[in-house]
Structure 1
Amino acid sequence: MNVQSRELTVTYKIVPPPSTVAPQSLSQETTHRFTVEGQPEDSKGDSELKYYALLRSSIAEARIKLGEELTAWRDAVGNAELVKEKSVKAEVEDEEEENAEE
């Protein structure tokens, strides 16, 4: 019998502005693995419900972990992204004005 590992894998890569000081405990490229505890039995029914309950638990754990890390990155980036967003909005507004004139 071949038993497969059941896990949820999440990978992300952060590309912050060059002026960003990275949080010490975090890496710009990270992979997390969250084990889906327990093994569903071969029979249908309750075992499937149990598996999905265990999967939801692993997803909740992943959301908490990623939320903490991405919040730390957001705090590290601070207002540096605002400059980037303003220039993108200005370009879009310029394009809209050009299209309106045509």
Structure 2
Amino acid sequence: HLGEQENVSAVMIVNPQGKVRFASRPDLEGKIIGKEFIEGLEAHTRFMKDETGREVLRSVNPVHNKPPCQVCHGPLEKHPVNGILLVDYDATSMRH
């Protein structure tokens, strides 16, 4: 379980609009992650402050719509990305 690993502060799956659908921390579910915390739909990793102001290394990975997913999520042309996987690593030990 990724969310239980040491130095991982949070794991979230958000929809393309930024709403947290699933999270390793129940207090994050249902919250809206601002677009500035997601930065587009391309995969990337960077140091930043999370929504609480804590410094993290955030990994952002889009979950692309694939043929088996289209039954529920709709056609690829309208919904190229089903969600975004966010993994926040505690950056305290990395930066100091």
The interval holding the TM-score normalised by the smaller chain is under 0.3
Q: TM-score, normalised by structure 2?
A: 0.23
Structure with greater strand percent: 2
Q: Between Structure 1 and Structure 2, whose CA radius of gyration is higher?
A: 1
Structure with greater helix percent: 1
